[in-house]
Amino acid sequence: MAEVLTEPVAGPSVWRGDELGDTSRWIVHLGEGDFTEFERALARVPGTGLGKLAEIGPGDFPLPRFRERIDDILCRLEQGPGLVLLRGLPVYDRFSEDQAATIYWGIGRHMGNLVPQNRAGDLVGHIRDLGRRGPYERAYATNEDLGFHTDSTDIVGLMCLRPALYGGESFVASSGLLYNIVIQEHPEYLPILCKNFPTDWRSEEPPGSPGWYLEPLYSYFGGVLSGTVRTGRAMSAMRFPDVPRLTAAEVSCFMYFESLAKRQGVALGMQLQTGDVQFLNNFVTVHTRTAFGDDPADPTHQRHLLRLWISRDEAGRPLCPEYAVWRSGYPTQAEPG
């Protein structure tokens, strides 16, 4: 039986969105010195473009001065609020899309290992409306509201190449704060939050998988509380005949929990601009984006983000086995054990 934390979580990772008016806690502004170092690093790379990124390691893209920034970013992600927004990269004005993607990749490589995000093994995800709608599909390739959730490794990065014509606002909330609200209002739900639930692969299961895997929404392990919140996947896993039906209490818990981050002032909203890079610690935050609309006649208003999954492996927080297995990224051959 997993240990259930019954005391409120404290520390910099527990915050309300309406208390983060001091943007210096989470926004890092890039400047001329950073751009000059990026240009020097780009000059060492034999070629840019998404097809060449996997060949670039930390030593191939040296950032000796920017390393201090990276250390600060990691500190904010792991000991601070769990979110950082890099702002001011001059995409199109100074760097091409390929160059910007290479800079983004290089920063990510200095932060940790870049791991697969889907069954195809993609190391760079394209977040845009591809029309892949369906109740059992991963929703990032649509223009729909995603609902609050987490990705499946230590850090998720999103670089905005182009915003939508309207919508697509990003919201982030502290998963520690949500847990504290449950302690205060419905402590009887805590064992449910920490229970292993069948979780839907959403049509990307590895070979031999039954279509689902086991995972808790929260885990108290190694003295820290971590979360990988995917209530929607736990609900949709019931489409498989071998998955037990959720009880009335479990469904009530999920519906209640999904409402918490939507409360006034709980989440922090931000509109990603061209050149913005958002990093989130998946184990201490939940995130979503609102529905959006593109301009079919204007490519500059067709939303396109690049996603990285960054694994911290031994440098990250202690994780229960169900979470730690994701530090290798999305399994392309065998399901998590």
CA-wise closest residue to 289 among 79, 28, 276, 109: 276
Q: Which pLDDT belongs to residue 133? A: 53
Flag whether pLDDT at 224 surpasses 80.
Answer: yes
Q: What is the pLDDT of residues 181-192, one digit of tens each?
A: 999 999 999 999
Q: Which pLDDT belongs to residue 132? A: 56
Q: What is the pLDDT of residues 154-205, one digit of tens each?
A: 999 999 999 999 999 999 999 999 999 999 999 999 999 999 999 999 988 9
* Contact yes or no for 275/91 (Cβ under 8 A): yes
**Amino acid residing at 307:** R
Strand bridging mode 27-29 / 83-87: parallel
Q: Which pLDDT belongs to residue 159? A: 98
Q: In 10 A of CB 203, how many CB atoms?
A: 12
Distance CA 267, CA 17 (A): 5
- Which CATH number characterizes residue 301's domain? 3.60.130.10
Q: Which pLDDT belongs to residue 337? A: 43
Q: Band of the pLDDT at 24, cuts 50, 70, 90? A: very high
Q: What is the pLDDT of residues 312-333, one digit of tens each?
A: 988 899 999 999 999 999 987 5
**Amino acid residing at 225:** L
Token output for 144: 């729909």
163 in a structural domain: yes
Structural domains counted in the chain: 1
Q: How far is CA 2 from CA 153, 232, 277, 301, in A?
A: 21, 22, 36, 47
Distance CA 181, CA 130 (A): 37
What range defines the domain where residue 242 resides? 20-328
8 in a structural domain: no
CA-wise closest residue to 157 among 262, 272, 42, 43: 272
Helices (H), 267-320: none
Q: What is the pLDDT of residues 242-272, one digit of tens each?
A: 999 999 999 999 999 999 999 999 999 999 9
* Contact yes or no for 81/13 (Cβ under 8 A): yes
* Contact yes or no for 303/145 (Cβ under 8 A): no
14 in a structural domain: no
- For the residues 47-76, what does the mean pLDDT come to? 92
Token output for 126: 């394209």
314 in a structural domain: yes
334 in a structural domain: no
335 in a structural domain: no
* Contact yes or no for 186/256 (Cβ under 8 A): yes
- On average, the pLDDT of the chain sits at 93
Query: Is the pTM here over 0.85, yes or no?
Result: yes
Residue 308 forms beta bridges with which residues? 157
1 in a structural domain: no
